[in-house]
Structure 1
Amino acid sequence: MFQMSLITASIHPMNLPWLNIDESPSTQKKLFDFLLRNNKVVEKTDWVLSNSSLELEPQGFNLVPKALPIGPFLATNRLGNLSGNFWPEDSTCLQWLDQQSPGSVS
């Protein structure tokens, strides 16, 4: 049977685990248990879809052969949250792009 995990969790940059973890044994155990469960799920899937691209994170995708980059997708419709996007949108290139022939810019 074909199985696939889709990792699309939204996270604000200030909620990254390594910025908010304390060093207590109970917190470290919770994080370890979470990572262990996550790894077991990945082992049972055929692919893990990732909101990134091979060009952005080649080393990461080399470490996780089941990861399939399908992005990056912008999270512009999430009511002002910075979900999935750490940088503000830069629209300064849109006028130039609009002046190019269809399909000529990749």
Structure 2
Amino acid sequence: MQDSALLVGPGWDKPQVVDLEVLRHAIRSERKLRIEYRDQKGERSTRVIWPIAIAFFESTRLVVAWCELRRDFRSFRADRIEAGDSLDERYPRPRALLEKEWLDTLLPESVSVER
């Protein structure tokens, strides 16, 4: 252990209403999710999202998803999701394709074309 390059930072200390298992299940089963979300200004909205990934950072967890309201990919802070209900409706496209589309929005064109 002393030779390990793995360092562990402080634990997660933000309350999270929606259990990660609900989010993971929606991702694995490619099901839409209805969420109640509070943005950084404190304004609430109801969204139907197609969650494709959960990103873990030292102080934040993000849910990457296609947002039907915005018709675009969005990242939602997990601690700002106040409620989440898995819907019976599946994504219209496979999650792998959605992930590729999302990554293509993040990478410079020269890198994404080579993929």
Structure 1 length-normalised TM: 0.21
Higher relative contact order (CA 8 A, sep 6+): 1
Q: Larger Rg: 1 or 2?
A: 1
